Amino acid sequence: MPSSTARTSPPPNILVFLVDDMGWQDTSVPFHSSATPLNQRYRTPAMARLAASGMKFTQAYVASVCSPSRVSLLTGLNAARHRVTNWTMRRDRATDAPHPTLVPPAWNVNGISPDPATPRAICAPTLPGLLRQVGYRTVHIGKAHFGAADTPGANPLNLGFEVNVAGHAAGGPGSYLSEQGFSGAWRQADAFWDIPGLEKYHGTHTFLTEALTREALAEMERAVHDQCPFFLYMSHYAVHVPFAPDPRFIERYRDAGLDPTEAQYAALLEGMDKSLGDLLDALDRHGLSDNTLVLFLSDNGGLSAHGRGGPPHTHNAPLSSGKGSAHEGGIRVPMLVRWPGVTAPGSVCEEYTMVEDLLPTLLEASGAASRLPALPPTDGRSFVPLLRQTVVSAPERPLYWHYPNIWGPTGPGLGPFSAIRVGAWKLIYYHADRRFELFNIPADISETTNRLADCPATARALAGQLSDWFRQVGAQMPTDRDTGGLVPWPDVALAAATAGTGGPRP
Q: Which residues bind a second copy (CB under 8 A)?
A: 1-2, 4, 77, 81-83, 108, 116, 118-125, 133, 360, 363-364, 369-370, 373-379, 381-382, 385, 471-477, 485-489, 492
Q: Which CB sits closer to a second copy, 24 or 417?
A: 417
Of 316 and 476, the one with the shorter C-beta distance to a second copy is 476
Kindly write down the DSSP assignment for every residue of 458-470, as one continuous string: HHHHHHHHHHHHH
Kindly list the distances between the CA atom of residue 38 and the CA atoms of 45, 276, 303, 395, 420, in Å, as whole numbers in the listed order. Answer: 14, 20, 14, 32, 28
Residue 436 CB, nearest distance to a second copy (Å)? 17
| Residue with Cβ nearer a second copy (307 or 464) | 464
**Helix spans in 76-201 (H):** 79-82, 127-133
Compute the distance between CA of residue 244 and CA of residue 176 in angstroms, rounded to an integer. 6
In the complex, what is the shortest distance from the CB of residue 488 to a second copy, in angstroms, rounded to a whole number? 4
Q: In what helix (H) or strand (E) does residue 14 lie, and over which residues does it extend?
A: strand 13-19
- Closer residue to a second copy (CB): 76 or 415: 76
Beta partners for residue 165, in sequence order: 141
Judged by CB, which is closer to a second copy: 149, or 317? 149
First to last CA, the chain: 50
Q: What is the closest distance, in whole angstroms, from the C-beta atom of residue 464 to a second copy in the complex?
A: 9
Q: Which of these, 174, 192, 172, lies nearest to 183 by C-alpha position?
A: 174
Q: Nearer Cβ to a second copy, position 369 or 432? A: 369
Smallest distance, a second copy to C-beta of residue 395, A: 8
CA-nearest of 372, 397, 404, 381 to 476 is 404
Give CA separation, 455 vs 328, 428, 479, in Å.
20, 14, 29
Shortest CB 318 distance to a second copy, Å: 33
Q: How far is the CB of 62 from a second copy (least distance, A)?
A: 19
Q: Which is nearer to a second copy, 235 or 418 (CB)?
A: 418
Calculate the alpha carbon distances from 274 to 45, 212, 458 in Å: 8, 12, 45
Query: Omega into 318 within 30° of 0, i.e. cis?
Result: yes
Q: What is the Cα–Cα distance from 329 to 316, expressed in whole angstroms?
A: 6
Count of alpha carbons within 13 Å of 28, Cβ hemisphere only?
17
**Nearest CB to a second copy, comparing residues 370 and 410:** 370
Q: Is the Cβ of residue 44 or residue 476 nearer to a second copy in the bound state? A: 476
Interacting residues of 484 by C-beta distance below 8 A, sequence separation 6+: none
Q: How far is the CB of 375 from a second copy (least distance, A)?
A: 5
Which residues, other chains included, contact 430 with Cβ-Cβ below 8 Å and sequence gap of 6+? 326, 415, 416, 417, 436, 437
Query: Is there a contact between 17 and 142 (Cβ–Cβ < 8 Å)?
Result: no
DSSP code for 121 = -
Q: Supply the DSSP string of 328-388, one letter for each residue.
A: HHHHEEEEEEE-TTTSPTTEEEEEEEEGGGHHHHHHHHTTGGGTSSSPPP-SS---HHHHH
114: which DSSP letter?
S
Least distance CB 144 / a second copy (angstroms) = 20
In whole angstroms, how close is the CB of 149 to a second copy at the nearest point?
A: 18
Nearer to a second copy, 125 or 229 (CB): 125
Work out how close the CB of 322 gets to a second copy at its nearest, in angstroms, rounded to a whole number.
Answer: 28
